[in-house]
Structures are given as C-alpha cells and as structure tokens.
Amino acid sequence: MVRSLQILTILIAFSNSVYGQQTFTLSSNTLGGEATINEEFNGFGCTGENLSPQLSWKNAPEGTKSFAITMYDPDAPTGSGWWHWVVFDIPLSVNELVSGAGDTTKKLTPEGVIQGITDYGATGYGGPCPPEGHGLHQYIITVYALKTEQLGLDQNTNPAVVGYYLWNNTLAKASIVTYYQRIRE
C-alpha cells in the first residue's frame, strides 16, 4: 500500500510538472476571431478607424530580454504577403500594448520602443484592407520573446530584415489569428 501511494505521488508530481506548465501566451481584450471596422485601415479604399488592438502577453521564457510584435497577412495578393505592423525593442518590463498604441503620434508605447515601417510605407499600425471580393484574409499577430534587449535596427528597416533579426533572436513566440474581408458593394 505504501509503495502504491509513493508511485501515485510521483505520477501526480510528474503530471503537474509536465501538464501544468505555463506557456507563452498572447491575448487581446479588443480583438476577436474577426477584425472589425475599428481595426480596418483608413486608406487604399478602406474607411476604417485603423485602431491597433489591445495586446497582452504572459509567461515569457527564462532568458527573455525584450519583446517584438508583428502583424502579417499571408493572403495578400503580392507574392510575399503584407506586413501591417512591426514593433520591436519592447522592454522586458512591458507585457501589454494598449488599444491605439499603433498610432505613433499618440506616443502610447514606452520610450525606446520602435514601430517600424509597414508595407503601406508608413511607421506604426496599418490595419486590414484586403481587396474587395478577395475573400477572407488571415492576419497573424505574433509576440516574440527575444534573447536580446535591442535589435539594433531603426524605424525605416524593411519588415523582411526585421523578420530576419527576429528569427535569429527568438526564444519563443505566441500568436493570435484574426480574419477580415471586404465585400463588394
């Protein structure tokens, strides 16, 4: 009986350590499974509010020194997708970007955070704006836990180059996928 209790105790401890682990997680209080006119870009034929979503993350892995966030549309008819938001050099002490932080004129990100150029040709957040009648596009918002405090890049660095530096410095990443489409009127 004592041996059975010892084995049971070991199994419970093992299952708690394996299955009870906290994973790196990204969430949003303002964004659901489908983007809305709130997030939609204002330009390129779109008339949305271009409001970046609130994002928060938790359980970064040991060794994390900073964070980065990207928003990417792999369904854009460009042959290489479309970068909607590139944010990096987010300090380790930060675990949230408030709604609207993608508007660089509002200065809602901590000092030193860089919002890079998007495929719209501007810095900051550029919301969904798929071609009319092109169907649902997926928008992948990813937070990266990085092993460096800074990437050593500036706001004019091409998103693909930023992606290269992210790939080389990522310890973990977590994503939210949302969808959006424009219907022909």
Percentage of the chain exceeding pLDDT 90: 83
In a domain, 2, yes or no: no
In a domain, 7, yes or no: no
Could you tell me the residue range of the domain that residue 68 belongs to? 22-180
Q: In residues, how long is the chain?
A: 185
* pLDDT at residue 185 in the model: 64
More confident residue, 80 or 26: 26
For 105, the 3-state DSSP assignment is helix
In a domain, 9, yes or no: no
Confidence of residue 19 (pLDDT cuts 50, 70, 90): low
Please name which of 76, 173, 54 lies closest in space to residue 134, comparing C-alpha atoms. Answer: 76
Distances (CA, A) of 132 to 45, 52, 115: 9, 21, 28
* pLDDT at residue 16 in the model: 42
Is the pLDDT at 85 greater than 70, yes or no? yes
Is the pLDDT at 178 greater than 70, yes or no? yes
For 122-177, the pLDDT digits (tens) are: 999 999 999 998 999 999 999 999 999 999 999 999 999 999 999 999 999 999 99
In a domain, 64, yes or no: yes
| 97: CATH | 3.90.280.10
In a domain, 162, yes or no: yes
Is the pLDDT at 8 greater than 80, yes or no? no
* pLDDT at residue 183 in the model: 79
In a domain, 89, yes or no: yes
In a domain, 32, yes or no: yes
Number of domains in the chain: 1
More confident residue, 80 or 49: 49
Provide CB contacts within 8 A for 169, sequence distance 6+: 144, 146, 147, 148, 151
In a domain, 4, yes or no: no
Q: What is the model's pTM? A: 0.88
